[in-house]
Chains A and B, each alone.
Chain A
Amino acid sequence: MTQASNRAPAAVPPLHHPGEAVLMDYAAGALSEAVGLIVATHLALCPACRAEVARLEAVGGALLEGMPDGEPDMDLLEGVLARLDAPAPAAPRRPAPHPASAVLPEPLRSYLGGDVGRIGWRRVMRGLEEALVDCGRDKVRLMRIRAGTAMPRHTHAGNEYTLVLAGGFSDALGHYLRGDFIATDAAIDHRPVADDGPDCLCLAVTDAPLRLTGPVGRLLNPFVQF
């Protein structure tokens, strides 16, 4: 893993990717907005996963073709045709013009209202600051970890997804740089350490199991603790 640290900061593709089941969930539109955000931000940095998502969308297209067809609803057609000449609504608000260079890729940059310079950081502990990203039900945090800082040993409830945006960190399983996507579950007890050099910037999403309540949640519980 040490040769990975020779990668240039920006243009070299990541080595650690979301699993194909996560990419499939993204292509199918089954991820929560928060997990969708971290996957999409990885895609901005990873041409290989973009190509894979394009293939997985093609699977979605083929499955749509295989859906029962039946008779079209001609009343609905009338309604649609009546709308075709209406002016299209104004394009959704675009973020400010693209900066010449940005640390944070889209779509994350728009969620934060700008690049790293605009973020209001909150100190969590020595060497660690964070900013919350407003994004649906799951908790999304941008973390800035000072070079060399060791995070407290921890596990998580549910899955935690981490995306490195600048700098790098290591844990017992590997060394991670810009674009690398790391999925950890409750079974993993890890103690990440930020690289020396520039601060490490990471996006982290926890899909808390508490959204899986009710009958489904009760069924799920044994599996959450896998």
Chain B
Amino acid sequence: MEIDVDMRERAAAGGDHPRGRSGPVCGTGRPSGASGGTGRPSGPAGGTRTTDAAAEAARLDALVVQVGRDRDREAFVALFRHFAPRLKSYLMRQGAAPGAADEVVQEVMVTIWRRADSFDPSLASAATWVFTIARNRRIDMIRREARPEIDPDDPALVPAAPEAADRLIEAGQDQRRLHGAIAELPPEQAELLRMAYFEDKPHSVIAAERGLPLGTVKSRLRLALERLRRAMGEER
């Protein structure tokens, strides 16, 4: 939770931008007990990884909600500090030049600010929501293509059965267990998973580049997904 301290210092020193609100930085929804420890490691560490990831996920969700509800710049700066470096890593891994990556990071952060009021933590975690924004901005700005997506209000859309909608909400909660499950994947599955998400190439192209039979790529991805589904509490 040292991030908050840094953020307050900057807010105090920076003057012009994030004006601190009085009271706790993160307000409701944040596990207040979580910051009690002394300098917990921020990275994955043994058995506490899942707990850490859950507390961090709750903190990020609360920050996005705060930005959406209160137009809270301090919360926004905290989101920037968390996501901007990760977004830049993500975009550069996708092959973006540093300057182009910065441009997309800027667009993603501005989009977060503008759309935070549409964020629903019961449907997806903040990280998932930010991931989808970054994915779409990358396609738009770097690949210069459109991203075809459903329109949830389309009368031609076939609605989900009510119980399926409930399960989706649970999926949003269980997402927090994903961090641990990804960390425990066998290396060859984890590597393929990262390639699938970070290299802007469909799995068939990844297979060819790696000199792997397509069936091997598909079965490794399937095995990885089975493990992750179990972590998300999805029986299939």
> Which A residues have a C-beta under 8 Å from some C-beta of B?
10-11, 13, 19-22, 24-25, 28-33, 35-37, 39-41, 43-48, 50-51, 54-74, 76-81, 83-84, 88, 98-107, 109, 111, 136, 159, 179, 212, 216, 219-220, 223-224, 226
Contacts and interface: CB of A to CB of B under 8 A. Distances in A.
A71 B164 contact: no
Contact of B158 (A47, A54, A136, A219): A47
A30 B130 contact: no
Contacts of A80: 80, 106, 109-110, 113
A105 B157 contact: yes
A68 B85 contact: yes
Nearest to A99: B155
Contact of B149 (A64, A107, A159): A107
The 5 closest A-B pairs by CB, nearest first: A61-B128, A47-B160, A220-B208, A61-B127, A105-B156
Interface of B: 10, 17-18, 53, 56, 73, 76-77, 80-90, 93, 102, 105-106, 109-110, 113-114, 123-125, 127-132, 134-136, 138-139, 145-151, 153-161, 164, 167-168, 171-172, 175, 178-179, 182-183, 193-194, 196-205, 207-209, 211, 213-214, 217-218, 221-222, 225, 228-229, 232, 234
B155 A219 contact: no
Interface centre among B125, B131, B155, B203, by most chain A C-beta atoms within 10 angstroms, is B131
B127 A223 contact: no
30 contacts: A11-B158, A20-B225, A22-B203, A24-B203, A28-B197, A29-B138, A30-B196, A32-B202, A33-B148, A40-B150, A45-B156, A47-B164, A51-B164, A51-B167, A54-B168, A61-B130, A63-B194, A64-B130, A67-B85, A67-B89, A69-B82, A72-B80, A76-B102, A76-B106, A81-B73, A101-B156, A105-B154, A105-B156, A107-B148, A223-B204
User: Chain A: interface secondary structure?
Assistant: helix
Given A28-B135, A31-B202, A104-B156, A64 B90 contact: yes
Interface centre among A41, A47, A64, A111, by most chain B C-beta atoms within 10 angstroms, is A64
A51 B158 contact: no
Nearest to A106: B151
A139 B125 CA distance: 36
Nearest to A25: B202
Given A29-B147, A55-B229, A106-B151, A63 B193 contact: yes
A31 to B, nearest CB: 6
Contact of B200 (A30, A45, A56): A30
Contact of A60 (B77, B135, B172, B202): B135
Contacts of B77: 77, 81
A44 B157 contact: yes
Contact of B89 (A58, A68, A212): A68
A41 to B, nearest CB: 8
Contacts, number: 251
A14 to B, nearest CB: 9
A44 B154 CA distance: 8
Given A44-B154, A59-B193, A69 B86 contact: yes
A81 to B, nearest CB: 5
A33 B200 CA distance: 12
B156 A63 contact: no
Given A58-B178, A73-B84, A81-B18, 8 more contacts: A10-B158, A22-B202, A30-B199, A33-B147, A54-B168, A55-B171, A63-B131, A72-B81
A153 B179 CA distance: 48
A65 B208 contact: no
A143 to B, nearest CB: 19
B110 A106 contact: no
B131 A57 contact: yes
Contacts of B105: 76
Contacts of B132: 57, 60
Given A36-B148, A55-B234, A67-B86, A159 B204 contact: yes
Contacts of A37: 148
Given A29-B200, A77-B77, A55 B84 contact: no
Contacts of B87: 64, 67
Contact of B221 (A20, A71, A73): A20
Given A11-B158, A63-B198, A80-B109, A54 B124 contact: yes
